[in-house]
Homo-oligomer: A and B are copies of this chain.
Amino acid sequence: MKIFPKSVDFFEIFDQAASNLTEATSHLMDLFKNITRLEEKAKIIYGIEQKGDTLTHEVMRRLNKTFITPIDREDIHALASAIDDVLDLIWGAVDRMTVFRITETMPEALEIARALHTTTEVLESSFGYLREKKYSFVHDNCIEINRLENHVDRIFRDALGRLFDDVKDPLMIIKWKEIYEHLEDASDRCEDVANILESIVLKHG
């Protein structure tokens, strides 16, 4: 019994899910860079979120039909759920932008989106390393993702401080607080993905 049998293609779906996630954060950066045509940009990210849903369901479906899995069942389940959560939260942030009729962007939102994009790129390469059993590379990536999450934490904290210091309108504060919270939460869930990857590596490494 090989640990990573070739026939099982969970890695392939995870590759697609991670690449889909990177696409979402790339569009998120665009959106916060230039808020014009918000509805149109939101629609694109919604499409990516829908594709992510399909991939998550595909993982779960195969998981329930497969007896031998390349990595522990609960880890596959947890990975798929966590990636799905990241995408849901990114979509949640974008959706709030349209519901709240936001017409101006915030520099901190773009900064977080940039960090999220780097994070998802690192996550995407981690899945490749996992498949190739380059565990020390996965490990290094996880450390990098933790560093990026701390970075987002600090931006979020500063953004919140500046929001209460500089913005006068309570409604605008409530709106942006909620958008920032979605983004920060997305970053937290990325760290969850990294933690699961880390524990998989520790088990096999």
Q: A residues engaging B (CB < 8 A)?
A: 60-61, 64-65, 95, 99-101, 157, 160-161, 164-165, 170-171, 173-175, 177, 199, 202-203
- Please name all residues of chain B whose beta carbon is closer than 8 Å to the beta carbon of A99 when the two chains form the complex: 157, 160-161, 164
Q: Which residues of B contact A202 (CB under 8 A)?
A: 60-61, 64-65
Dominant SS among interface residues on chain A: helix
Q: A64 to B198, alpha carbons, bound, how many Å?
A: 10
Query: What residues on B are CB-neighbors of A165 within 8 Å?
Result: 101
Q: Shortest beta-carbon distance, A77 to chain B, in Å?
A: 9
Could you say which residues of chain B place their CB within 8 Å of the CB of A61? 202
10 nearest A-B residue pairs (beta carbon): A64-B202, A170-B170, A99-B161, A99-B160, A99-B157, A64-B203, A64-B199, A170-B171, A100-B164, A164-B171
Given contacts A64-B202, A65-B202, A203-B64, contact A174 B177 (CB under 8 A): yes
Q: Please, which residues of chain B bring their CB within 8 A of the CB of A174?
A: 170, 173-174, 177
Tell me whether A164 and B175 are in contact in the complex, defined as CB-CB below 8 angstroms, given that A64-B203, A202-B61, A202-B65 are known contacts.
yes
